[in-house]
Structure 1
Amino acid sequence: MSTPTEEPELPAAEPVPRSRWRMQLVWLVPIVAILIGGWLAVKAVMERGEQISISFKTGDGLEAGKTKLKFKDVDIGVVEAVSLTPDHKRVVAKAEVTRDVSDLLVDNTRFWVVRPRISGGTVSGLGTLLSGSYVDVDVGNSPKARRSFVGLEEPPVIASDVPGHEYTLHGTGLGSLDVGTPVFFRRIQVGQVASYQLDPDGHGVTVKVFVNAPYDRFVRTDTRFWHASGVDMSFDSSGLRVETQSIVSIIIGGIAFESPPDSQVETSADTSTRFELYTTRADAMKMHDRIVVKYVVNFADSVRGLTVGAPVDFRGVDIGEVTAIYTRFDPDTRRFSSPVEINLYPERFTSRYQNDGAGGHITDDPRALANYLVEHGFRFQLRTGNLLTGQQYLALDYFPDAPKASIDWSKTPPEMPAIPRTLQSLQESVTRLLAKINNIPFEDIGKDARSTLRTTNAMLGQLNTQVVPKARDTLLSAQSTLDSANAALQPDSSLQQSTEDAMRELTRTAASLRTLADYLAQHPESLVRGKSEDKKP
């Protein structure tokens, strides 16, 4: 019988206390996730762009989370929210702009919504029909940062980085101008209209134009701007003239500028220099006179055909223009007249002469010049400038036979003397002639004429009854004599025997004719009255 094997004794287990801070592997995953999440959150905060707000009149084209902000066609942000202002009058778009372009957000940076537009003859934003609207940015140059902006309702015509100069024009009306309307220099488009607005007093408009470089150097301090819209037609002594800048200006209008032909100015105009905007090129190129003297010319005849702006002419030279036309009633004479106000430019009405190589003038005193002209027979007169249209103009000319007159300096403006137009003078002469003709006693003259005719008829009757029968008898006697002479010349006549008798008969006949002729020569009235009988003593 075998003896059981003894098993070895195991050592006694000793308890070991668990560490309180010992980390389990299962917690490693959430810790890493938290770290990554925190890192992402910090990164998101660090990379978060600038928050800006843009105010618009409407929310057309704005959509939260979709509408992009672009600068030079590069995405720089997105619209995050669109809401109304507390007064519900405008729309505010909250947008986030990437941090790397935050330096573009300055005081004069401009924002506008790009959508399809037709303005100033140009079409823009057609690409948004497929891609959708977006907010475009034009970066300013101000050193001052800004985060709240007012968006433009229309895109700016000129970007801030385009070289050139902007000028201010003032005119009486806008015409067919619009934002984007071209600006021409010698029929070359060199700029465009940037903006326009009505003057506060409502008497005109202010237009801002931008002229691109290098053409802006041609805008000088004496440059003239005018409307180049449509077609400018004029009819003068050289014929019909038609001028236009381009087909574009005919359709959408335009502005043109140019310096006067005799300009000696070389200084370029500064930015925002103010110029006058004239209606036509002719108005723009008129001489700008430094001295303007106002007068009134009072006409007793009709001024039909004379308009405001009509020239005052001195032998083909414009020395002024008509500024107003109205009527006046004189209570003393109880007659109407037509006063015409004019502007005279003494600098134009000068008589230059050579005196040791130096030029001169009649006088430097406008009043002395006016008195000089009137004293020497100068008068104003209405004349026809165009026979087709009946347009009148005011002429100043020399009339040596004009009645003496003087200028009434007591009136304001002073009143200059006038002379009736040539046709009216002719009409007055004809009227005076007719008055004299009416004073002729035609009735008495007619009575005398009828009496003379009766006397003449009586004389003719006496001639027929007295003189004619005697003349007939004389002619019959002559005929008888000729017949006798003819018979005597016949071969079988007794001419040879009675020649002496025939000659005596012919002599007596000739003597009778001579006596009759002498009597008629001495008494020609016998042809009318007959032979007078000798009165017995």
Structure 2
Amino acid sequence: MSSDHQSPNSASSEASRPAGNTPSAAGAAQPASPTVKPRKPTRISWIWLVPLVAVLVGMSLLVRDWLSAGPVVTISFESAEGLEVGQTKVRYKDVVVGLVKDIRIADDRSSVLVKAQLSRDGAKYYTQESARYWVVRPRLGLSGVSGLGTLLSGAYISVDAPNDLDDGETVTFFKGLETPPEVTTGQLGRRVTLLTKDLGSLDIGSPVYFRRIQVGRIIGYSLAEDGSQVMIQAFIDAPHDRFITSDTRFWNVSGINVSLDASGVEVRTGSLAAVLAGGVAFASANPFNTQPAPEDATFALAESETEAMAEPDGPPFRVDMIFRQSVRGLKLGAPIDFRGMELGEVYDIDLEFDEDEKRFHVLVKANLYPLRFGGAYDRLSDEQKADSYPAPHLLGPLIKHGLRAQIKAANLLTGQQYIALDFMKDVEPAEIDLKAYPFTIPTVAGSFDKLQEQLSSVVAKIDRVPLDQIGKDLQGSLASLHRVLDGLSNVGPQLGDTLKTLKLTLGKLDGMLDADSPMNAGIEDTMRELQSAARSLRALGDYLQTHPSALIRGRSADVLPAP
């Protein structure tokens, strides 16, 4: 068994032994025993450091992301156009401050909910209640083109955060804006409110001009609480906002204004942007006033520059007028005229029924401006001026002297009418109640109404004429005339002979009156004799007037001239 299993060392020694030598050879030297050295322990390979470093880097990145990650906010938009999960970024002043993590439809399916992970730095500003979010994408409008940079980079969500922190709790749900705000936080300038009757062609983004230089824009509009006016919010950029003073006047420069007066046709237009998108201009009525107006000041927006720069009229007061005739052609806004001066305008026309008289009448309501009455308003006492309703004190004395309201034609072609105030003669006295509100101005019929009444009176008189009886009498007269003509027909032959004799007589008379007839020649000689006698008598009269003594002494002898 030992022969079958030899150690490797012995086998190797035998193999290395030279040929011809055998172990049994006498005197052979014994080999040295080998030195066995134990193997060193196995070391870890350097290749394992690579995944270890990767794991450490990954963990550091996760820790850094966890430490830098801020709150998650949810933004509601009407559409998710251009937004992508993991791609769309949230930016503040073009600095990335977040990333969209999720987009889903709201439970009521009315909007899209976008969840964005914000960074921890500055997150307390982006979660304030006053923060605003909107999607920046290419937009084309009348005021210009915006968002062109997103054509290459793609749409992103922009945030406008306040500069100061509120004491309240942070907010994580926001209603996104569908259009970018016109004014962002920190933009220097001044907000003003403009009051006008209607918006016209103005819109958000319409320019505001000062000396034809754009210095601001319209940032919003809304109706007043009573719905009577439109409140337009405008923003004037710094440093031009210093020109907004208490004497500043605003007017509309939208479209094309055409006016026709005695000097001819005048056409006024603003810039092309103002013609297309509307616009507002302003100027100061008192250039020496440099005191800025208070913040969020309110101004009236006039229709034209002429109207804006005119002297203020003060707050209007209401008056009523009752007309019992047709007011066709009288429209809202019709002027109230007093000898060519416009004192106010009509703002309402109603049809009412008078229970006492059992008839309808038209109630016209108008606004009059007290400052337009000039000296009449200046002569009122301070107490009466302080009264919020000066109509009785201002119009009462004028009505006592015959002031009445009358509808007159403003344009015969269009049929438009206006109300004229003037002093009328021979009018019935009117009762005046100084405590009545609203104050009523007495009225008289207009010129056309008077003409209509006169025509109606004439027609009524014609109706009272007994035309039937006159017709019967005329018919009887015609019958009598017919009988007379029948009687004349019996004397026709005798009348013919008489006419022939009359014709012969007239012929002879014509011959006697002929220029060559003897009678005419005799008459001419007689006339010549009479003229000669008249001259002699005239000469005798002249002589007697010169020599009256000739009637007694006779005519003196002619004295011959001395040789």
Query: Do they fold alike, i.e. is TM over 0.5?
Result: yes
Q: Structure 1 residues 485, 227: CA separation in 2 closer, same or farther (over 3 Å shift)?
A: closer
**Count of residues in correspondence between the two structures:** 460
The correspondence for 1:50, drawn from 53, 69, 73, is 69
Q: Structure 1 residues 294, 470: CA separation in 2 closer, same or farther (over 3 Å shift)?
A: same
- Per-residue displacement from partner, 1:292-318 (whole Å, max 9, x unpaired)? 443322223322222222221222222
- Letter matched to residue 66 of structure 1: Q
Report if the CA contact (8 A) 2:248-2:283 is conserved.
yes
1:143 aligns with 2:165: yes
Structure 1 match to 2:404: 379
- Per-residue displacement from partner, 1:114-173 (whole Å, max 9, x unpaired)? 222223432222343333222334453123596836343222222334321223345554
- Letter matched to residue 56 of structure 1: S
Matches of 2:180 and 2:512, distance apart in 1: 127
Map residues 267-278 of structure 1 onto 2, 5 A cutoff: 267-277=291-301
Match of 1:327, SS state, is strand
Structure 1 residues without counterparts, runs of 5 or longer: 353-358, 455-460, 490-506, 508-537
Structure 1 match to 2:544: none
Shift of 1:52: 4.2
The correspondence for 1:245, drawn from 245, 270, 278, is 270
Shift of 1:5: 7.9
Percent of residue pairs bearing the same amino acid type:
35
Q: Structure 1 residues 94, 430: CA separation in 2 closer, same or farther (over 3 Å shift)?
A: closer
Map residues 28-177 of structure 1 onto 2, 5 A cutoff: 30=48, 34=52, 37-38=55-56, 41-42=59-60, 45-46=63-64, 49-54=68-73, 55-57=75-77, 58-83=79-104, 89-97=111-119, 105=126, 107=128, 108-144=130-166, 148=172, 150=174, 151-171=176-196, 173-177=198-202
- Letter matched to residue 165 of structure 1: R
Report if the CA contact (8 A) 2:98-2:116 is conserved.
no
1:414 aligns with 2:414: no
Using the size of structure 2 for normalisation, the TM-score is 0.64
Structure 1 match to 2:379: 361
The correspondence for 1:322, drawn from 331, 336, 346, is 346
Match of 1:25, SS state, is coil
Matches of 1:233 and 1:401, distance apart in 2: 43
Match of 2:44, SS state, is helix
The correspondence for 1:26, drawn from 14, 19, 44, is 44
Match of 1:250, SS state, is helix
Match of 2:59, SS state, is helix
Structure 2 match to 1:425: 450
1:344 aligns with 2:368: yes
Using the size of structure 1 for normalisation, the TM-score is 0.67
Structure 1 match to 2:238: 213
Structure 2 match to 1:511: none
Structure 1 match to 2:492: none
- Letter matched to residue 136 of structure 1: S
Matches of 1:476 and 1:201, distance apart in 2: 102
Report if the CA contact (8 A) 1:408-1:416 is conserved.
no
- Letter matched to residue 68 of structure 1: K
Matches of 2:223 and 2:125, distance apart in 1: 33
Q: Structure 1 residues 113, 388: CA separation in 2 closer, same or farther (over 3 Å shift)?
A: same
Match of 1:386, SS state, is coil
Matches of 1:128 and 1:485, distance apart in 2: 129
Match of 1:389, SS state, is coil
Matches of 2:441 and 2:409, distance apart in 1: 20
Shift of 1:369: 3.6
Shift of 1:234: 4.1
Matches of 1:298 and 1:269, distance apart in 2: 43
Structure 2 residues without counterparts, runs of 5 or longer: 1-25, 385-389, 485-494, 527-563
- Letter matched to residue 86 of structure 2: G
Structure 2 match to 1:298: 322
Matches of 2:341 and 2:286, distance apart in 1: 18
Q: Structure 1 residues 23, 276: CA separation in 2 closer, same or farther (over 3 Å shift)?
A: farther
Q: Structure 1 residues 469, 204: CA separation in 2 closer, same or farther (over 3 Å shift)?
A: closer
Matches of 1:147 and 1:333, distance apart in 2: 67
Shift of 1:478: 8.1
Match of 1:347, SS state, is helix
- Letter matched to residue 231 of structure 1: I
Report if the CA contact (8 A) 1:326-1:340 is conserved.
yes
- Per-residue displacement from partner, 1:193-221 (whole Å, max 9, x unpaired)? 22345667766654432211222223334
1:307 aligns with 2:307: no
Matches of 2:133 and 2:183, distance apart in 1: 13
Shift of 1:26: 0.9
Report if the CA contact (8 A) 2:320-2:441 is conserved.
yes
Map residues 433-472 of structure 1 onto 2, 5 A cutoff: none
- Letter matched to residue 362 of structure 2: S
Structure 1 match to 2:551: none
Shift of 1:475: 6.5
